[in-house]
Chain A
């Protein structure tokens, strides 16, 4: 089945460490997104990419960077992790050919990150 996968699924790290979260998809979608989810705050967009050469900041990009290595791969990096980056991180994909004018998004299983 076409899918969105994320690695690692869980990660505990210490303040100041560099962390990379990876996302791969076999859906053939052009658009990829990174969100974080915090209790009471919902899903918030960190970065998004419409194709390999297109990277855009979302609403909470400070402290994060991304790399779109290929159409199917979009990684999120925390350059120097801090405790308030403890959250559930989701990757998502969409495509203009999918429903809702390309706005229907499909999520990976998430990465639970804890920064001590």
Chain B
């Protein structure tokens, strides 16, 4: 089982829609979770950190579900500019160097 798994998509949604992605992680001792956005052939850009209590930034809400070992990203009122690949990143273990492990990403396409 991969340490971090994401549905590759694509998720095709119309403008204004609400869309949610999940990212599952295999190590129950994981800590520090992040969502990154990556446009085609560009660098990943940090979207938000995911805290135990959840995190909201404008139209974006991130949640952590430790019992089921996944994090989620909810995008409300989707814009054309939200079209991108969304990568989750997890630190698998609380020992030694806290390496970020990235998922392979979920592609979102927002259409007019």
Kindly specify which of A11-19, A64-72, A77-85, A102-110 makes contact with the partner chain.
A102-110
- A48 lies within 8 A of chain B by Cβ: yes
Looking at chain A's contact residues, the main secondary structure is mixed
Chain B: minimal CB distance from A49 (Å) = 11
Chain A: minimal CB distance from B93 (Å) = 13
In the assembled complex, the Cα of A103 lies from the Cα of B87 at a distance in Å of: 15
What is the interface size of chain B, counting residues whose CB is below 8 A from a CB of the partner?
20
- A45 lies within 8 A of chain B by Cβ: yes
Contact, CB under 8 Å: B102 / A43: yes
Chain A: minimal CB distance from B92 (Å) = 12
| Best-buried of A40, A43, A108, A109 by chain B (most CB within 10 Å) | A43
Contact, CB under 8 Å: B105 / A58: no
Chain A residue with Cβ nearest B103: A42
- B45 lies within 8 A of chain A by Cβ: yes
With A90-B44, A100-B49 known as contacts, the answer to whether A56 contacts B97 (CB < 8 A) is yes
Contact, CB under 8 Å: A104 / B46: yes
Q: Which of B46, B97, B105 contacts A105 (CB 8 A)?
A: B46
Chain B: minimal CB distance from A108 (Å) = 6
Chain B residue with Cβ nearest A41: B104
Residues of A in contact with B (beta carbons under 8 Å apart):
40-43, 45, 48, 56, 58, 88, 90, 99-101, 103-110, 112
Query: Can you list 15 A-B contacts with CB-CB less than 8 angstroms, sorted by A residue number?
Result: A42-B87, A42-B103, A42-B104, A45-B99, A58-B99, A99-B49, A100-B34, A101-B32, A103-B32, A103-B100, A104-B46, A104-B49, A105-B89, A108-B43, A110-B41
| Closest A-B pairs by Cβ, 7 of them | A107-B43, A42-B104, A43-B102, A42-B102, A103-B32, A100-B49, A107-B44
